[in-house]
Structure 1
Amino acid sequence: LIPGSMGTRSYVVVGKGEPESLCSSPHGAGRAYSRSAARRTFTRAQLREAMQGIEYRDTDAFLDEIPAAYKDIDQVMADAADLVEVRHVLRQVVNVKGD
């Protein structure tokens, strides 16, 4: 499973066994902003807009998890095309995290 963010797709994959990558693959989208930089950069309104159509707990506690704080998972997957075969794409419906 290669996860995106709390508001983007995740991918179920099978590895292609590429020896040059040590038979590895991405472990997720990866952060584009640190948690503290995301809190300084993004607003609660932006979080609400990014999470439209996804059930989540609307609190300041998740501002550092805004999807824009992460790299574009679709680009990550395109870059990993030689490493993995996508079997399923999962769409985010609900996000459950404690705060």
Structure 2
Amino acid sequence: MSSDPAAGAADAQQAAASSLGRSGLRCSSITVDVDTEGLAAPVGEAASVSATVSCTARLSDLALPGLGGSKTLSATMVSAVDTWAVRGG
């Protein structure tokens, strides 16, 4: 976790690539979209940040060998920002 938006985005990209690699899923492309607007909320106000990871994988890797085409798989996770922590956003 990072309280700095740029560092958080870099950390999220690295974590996504590492996690997908360990899972055995081979992605032809990985994108990570991080929403850090919650870090700009005033201390004392409830806020959250989120990250959406998308992986484009060949259908032959997901289902049957020889099957053509690709599929983009996406997932989003949301995390609460500590209400009373100093924020870097």
TM-score tier after normalising by the smaller chain length: under 0.3
Structure with the largest fraction of strand:
2
Q: Work out which of the two has the higher radius of gyration on C-alpha atoms and give 1 or 2.
A: 2
TM-score normalised to the size of structure 1?
Answer: 0.22
Give the structure-2-normalised TM-score. 0.24
